[in-house]
Amino acid sequence: MRNKLSFFHTTIMIYMFQSGVVILSMPHILAYYFGTNGWLAVILISLIVNVNIGFIFLVYRLGKGRSVFEILEQSVSKVILFPLYIALAILWTVLGSLVSKDYVHIFQLFSFPNTPPMLLTVLMGLLALMLLVKGIFVIERAATIFFWLIIWMLLLLFAFSYDFEWVRLTPFVFKEGDNFLLGGLNLLKGFLGYELSLFLFPYSDKRTKLIQAVIIANVMITLVYFITCFIAYGFYSLNQLKGVLYPVIDMMSYIKFPFVQRVENLFYGFFMFTNLFSTVAYVWAAKEACQRVFKKVKPGILAVVLIIIGFSAIAIPDVTGEVREWLAFLGFFEIGVAFILPVLLILVLITQRIMGGAR
């Protein structure tokens, strides 16, 4: 079996980590917070993400590909680090589990409204567990398979070309918006997942070209978000986008086939794959952190325990509004982790070099 990730599969895996059901509501978020031509904000947020990826590159370069945990443990006491690892593991486990529950709640709006949401959520957890116990190399290959199962859906956007009206875009930029900062943070949550590449250092080498893979993945997700939101702005008016919570799903309902009714339900089912890998990504990162604390526990056992903890915790919010509030709250924490952790690691590495030079 290979002991290093490949460039192509890593690129696809990072893309799958970043993608999720947020795309279904992204045109609404852009219209509400940025107003006219809000689709341009996708490019602005993507540039900010690329800057953060640059910090991750510095960590990789200064640390010479060493594990994030090795870098920290060389300079910081484990008395401080172990509680930090546990805190991050809890954050990632609950966040990943909430992503699944959010998908299930949205799915219930259109299909299986009488099915208990926790039943569907547990099924999602079992699918995630099946990937987690196999390890990162199986996750990498599975991500590529599921990528080809969903990427074709981008072609469906051409179905709206006849209803696209340039006049709906208007000549104004970011007019009738509300709170650009909050809107930017909400949009940034749709790009999260790339920061987990920090924990792929031990599984990468020069042939993996990890940082290039992360950049390309971010460009790919940016193009998908940009095209989708651009089409939505030309398909709906600004007020319609503000009033429709999931514009992309409503757009799908306009696609008609003579042999299928409610075709949007079929399309929405494919989003399970992207959502699944968002869950897998965060619980896998949590498992990596816990492995440093509980070294004698087998990775498979840790994966089972984390899935049980995560999906038990998310049983508390049982309505869509509460789930979205939890996701928003934890999402802001994860944005902080995504930006602060690379900077912290750079400072630790610089300190190590200075101390090493002094010796």
230-271 pLDDT, tens digit per residue, is 999 988 888 889 888 888 888 877 777 665 666 666 677 777
Q: Is residue 354 part of a domain?
A: no
Q: Is residue 168 part of a domain?
A: yes
Q: Is residue 114 part of a domain?
A: yes
Return the closest-CA partner of residue 128 out of 101, 90, 88, 108.
101
* pLDDT at residue 342 in the model: 95
* pLDDT at residue 154 in the model: 81
Name the more confident of 78 and 156.
78
pLDDT category at 103 given cuts 50, 70, 90 is: confident
- pLDDT digit string (tens) for 26-72? 999 999 999 889 999 999 999 999 999 999 999 999 988 899 999 99
Residue 291: CATH number of its domain: 1.20.1740.10
- pLDDT digit string (tens) for 219-229? 999 999 999 99
* pLDDT at residue 170 in the model: 82
Q: Is residue 359 part of a domain?
A: no
CB 337 within 8 A of CB 193: no
pLDDT category at 1 given cuts 50, 70, 90 is: very low
Q: Is residue 333 part of a domain?
A: yes
Q: Is residue 262 part of a domain?
A: yes
SS (H, E, C) 84-150: HHHHHHHHHHHHHHHHHHHHHHHHHHHCCCCCCHHHHHHHHHHHHHHHHCCCHHHHHHHHHHHHHHH
Alpha helix ranges (H) inside the chain:
7-18, 22-34, 40-62, 68-75, 78-110, 117-132, 136-150, 180-188, 210-235, 238-243, 247-252, 263-293, 299-313, 320-358
Enclosing domain of residue 197 = 7-346
- pLDDT digit string (tens) for 302-316? 999 999 998 888 888
Least confident of 29-38, 75-84, 97-106, 108-117: 108-117
Mean pLDDT over residues 181-191, rounded?
Answer: 91
Q: Is residue 2 part of a domain?
A: no
Tokens standing for 85? Answer: 């690892």
Give how many domains the chain has, as a whole number: 1
**Mean of per-residue pLDDT scores for the chain:** 87
- pLDDT digit string (tens) for 299-349? 889 999 999 998 888 888 777 788 888 888 999 999 999 999 999 999 999
Q: Is residue 356 part of a domain?
A: no
* pLDDT at residue 77 in the model: 87
